[in-house]
Structure 1
């Protein structure tokens, strides 16, 4: 009987009745939104291309903006998965309302090697924009080694207090205020190192050795012939370097510039961010000026955080 039933089933298969498809629309959750996947892929490609172009280092090419090394990865300042935080930053004025989504906005990204990205994402390092020297500076929390007597000795990383190869005047430079939020999280993960940065004279920060060497080669190729007049001028200004590429050109003298607290720096950095070319360019990219000249001017001032 079992054999006959099996044979009978094979010769006369049972038809399963399926619900009919809608005549004009795909079933629920299967609808195709035209261009959605292509647009998303295009935005991600644009994010990578923007970072590759912006963070290219002379004589090195695409390298880590902290150390100049390869391979490189594209890191996000604000985690690309935290869309709710990104929306709150828009509402609170830390980024312009016109900012792209968190995972595709190039001003929320930077180029790092795997080691420095691991330290940044793992809150073992943070970045602060220092307006007095117009530079992004990399800070690392120390690791501790136990001495024979049981006391702990802090060991600083090799790149603590290093100037990063990021140009603040670039139209797609990272928004300064984003680093405030990351720094706050990093300090929360390292509660016993509240005075980090006091050991760095910010007037003396320089690029890493590899980046500095590359920029020096560029400078030597474009430097005018040496004259005693130029040497006298540099000496009278107290400059230790005349690099046109943003190298250290400050003489600290008897005054030392150290990292201020987050509370002290927040207001200043937010103001600098809203006055930056990157912030303004982000606003211009999406703004429609359809009114009169006076209306457009008032609209622009409001969009960058100033009353009309």
Structure 2
């Protein structure tokens, strides 16, 4: 008899086929809550979810046979780790499976926001270029010689740093503590990093402790010529403060792939010409998705074979 698993979100037809060949698959049930768990899925041994979905103690209690919560991506901020640990439930995630793709995308946002790419595209598409032959686009500093500050020098942050260095940028970072053997300049406070840098890239893992870490104070420190890029999670940035800073010119521009209440993006933010906005797509590459799928399938195989999965979240290891 195949082991029962529950999907908290829709997966590709190919992935579902791979799962159904091995397991009894239930769902998807979007944003799983205790009252939405189908009766036939209440004995699921595994919940496959994503970090942004709330997976709390009440949901775990509604799935009494649950032994593994497998987060498809790298994030797991929605999982109550203490509740899982108390119930003996293992929690896995994709670790650095998508780090290269996200770092590539982060640099794309850095370039687009810093070099006014979308402003130029809008001008061209509107047919305004022929009328502006004698008028240049506003001059911008470019990236060479600029300072990039990275908030969170993990798998993604390190890859962003190497790419920024290739663009001849000076790199500094902030995190919980300095990293051994790292040549980049460490800044003990996020505000200090913002004061130092020209471009601030948010690549930190989202936790309740860093909710709205990028606030009005940090944005003011970044300054009117500064650029903010966020490829971490929307909750790390105070979205209202950021919108205000962009509207008032307190910072120059922003590139955002993540938002505080996805998929909702406030109209005021969407209306800003100095914000480059994308729908949480940094990890949407074939290589990243294949790597994430493999990590997840390996976790399920290990769990049902009685082995400890290799990709447990750090707090559960």
Q: One fold, TM greater than 0.5?
A: no
Q: Which has the larger radius of gyration?
A: 1
Q: TM-score, normalised by structure 2?
A: 0.24
